[in-house]
Chain A
Amino acid sequence: MMMNNYLMLSAALFVIGAVGVMIRRNVIVVMMCIELMLNAANLSFITFANYRHDMTGHAFVFMVIAVAAAEAAVGLAVVLAMFRNRETVDVDEMNSMKG
């Protein structure tokens, strides 16, 4: 029973992150929302690991944290390069690759 509560919290955080990605225009806040979605997925992993008493979920969360760190570093570097070129962090104005 307790496990369903954790999964519902995870779903709530994931949906809040997804809505944030769609409604925010500042690209840095959009990246923060992506981090929130990754965290919600981590909560699900830990919940299932705790339920099954299986350590594989912990190994997965370890990998997800490492990948999130790499993603944040490269993503923020892209944002910095973009800001130098275009003087904006608005996702609506980053449309130079739009057909």
Chain B
Amino acid sequence: MEMAIFLVMGALSVGFSLVMILARKPVTSAMSLVAVMFCLAVLFALQSAHLIAILQILVYAGAIMVLFLFVIMLLNLREKEGEESHTKGYGQIFGGAIAFTILIVAVGSTSMSGSPAGLSSDRFGTTAEVGKILFTKYILPFEITSVLLLAALVGAVALVKLRMR
């Protein structure tokens, strides 16, 4: 059952990501990316990362992609006739194929041994456990993240409001 869900969602996510990089219109790319994120959320939930799956949908597919769609809407680009949206990138595609082969061989030749030490399976992945680790061991990075988000907020507003003429 897990294998079947993985195969369907994996094929869908690879297909939609290919649509994303090949589509001519930016809106098509954005909607394909939303589909990829939904597939990945299912895969996260399949690996008992429930909180991360919900966050993936709320933050990525919700907030970040709405931001992208807003910017696409604001720019209101006109499709110019006869203009290429891609560079002719046979070299890049070849390089990507080589990188993919290397990664697959590396993953395939690795045998993950050793006992999976850690939590018992009924506590692993619960929201309570994520909260516990975020507020004890990783409290400093967690707090610094809030400063980072504030800086990004101020920076984004300052950049957009700036009159640079």
Contact = CB atoms under 8 A, between A and B. Distances in A.
Given A15-B96, A25-B86, A32 B20 contact: yes
A5 B85 contact: no
Given A6-B43, A59-B133, A33 B20 contact: yes
Interface of B: 2-3, 6, 10, 13-14, 17-18, 20-21, 26, 29-30, 33, 36-37, 40, 43-44, 47-49, 51-52, 55-56, 59-60, 63-64, 67-68, 71-72, 74-75, 77, 84-87, 89, 92-93, 95-97, 99-100, 103-104, 107-108, 110, 112, 116-121, 124-125, 129-130, 132-134, 137-138, 141-142, 145, 148-149, 151-153, 155-157, 159-160, 162, 164-165
23 contacts: A2-B3, A8-B103, A8-B108, A14-B103, A16-B21, A22-B87, A22-B96, A24-B87, A28-B68, A29-B20, A32-B29, A36-B33, A39-B36, A39-B60, A42-B52, A46-B49, A47-B47, A52-B118, A53-B117, A76-B67, A78-B159, A80-B75, A92-B87
Interface of A: 2-9, 11-20, 22-26, 28-29, 31-33, 35-36, 39, 42-43, 46-47, 49-56, 58-59, 61-63, 65-74, 76-81, 83-85, 89, 92
B149 A70 contact: yes
Contacts of A49: 47, 49
